[in-house]
């Protein structure tokens, strides 16, 4: 079964940028849709973005549309989440996971969750 490892999180000032990576081992990512989710303290896990397996179409939550960009590199077996114009409300642990098809509202359909990477947006 594919295993995912997230990286790239950190502390950034409001308006700054980060690029998260979701690297796979034990299998190929190109047969899966890959989603990014986040969870802030005391809040439910929410879908942020997803990239489909077939045509690579991206999907975004309204809260990040225009600021975040998801992409996949099937050669490197990695999915990226470029996050620009970061806001304090983007602070959360970010996770990636696999699914058969993209959805941002049904985290239960995703598998092979990584351990997460902390993103903190603060001045």
- Name the residue with tokens 């509202």: 105
Q: Can you tell me the distance from the alpha carbon of 40 to that of 90, in angstroms, rounded to the nearest whole number?
A: 8
Phi-psi region of 62 (alpha: psi -120 to 50; beta: other; left: phi over 0): alpha
pLDDT digits 0-9 by tens, 27-83: 999 899 999 999 999 999 999 999 998 788 999 999 999 999 999 998 999 999 999
pLDDT digits 0-9 by tens, 85-106: 999 999 999 999 999 999 998 8
pLDDT of residue 111: 94
Torsion of CA 43, 34, 77, 63, to 10 degrees: -60
Give the residue from 54, 2, 52, 53 showing the smallest Cα distance to 28.
2
């Amino acid at each position: 079964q594919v295993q995912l490892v997230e990286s790239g999180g950190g502390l950034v000032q409001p308006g700054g940028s980060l690029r998260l990576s979701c690297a796979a081992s034990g299998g190929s990512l190109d047969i899966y849709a890959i989603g990014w989710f986040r969870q802030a303290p005391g809040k439910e896990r929410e879908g942020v973005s997803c990239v489909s397996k077939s045509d690579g179409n991206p999907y975004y939550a309204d809260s990040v549309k225009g600021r975040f960009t998801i992409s996949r590199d099937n050669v490197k077996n990695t999915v990226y989440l470029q996050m620009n114009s970061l806001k304090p409300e983007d602070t959360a642990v970010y996770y990636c996971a696999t699914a058969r098809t993209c959805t941002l509202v049904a985290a239960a359909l995703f598998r092979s969750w990584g351990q997460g990477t902390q993103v903190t947006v603060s001045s």
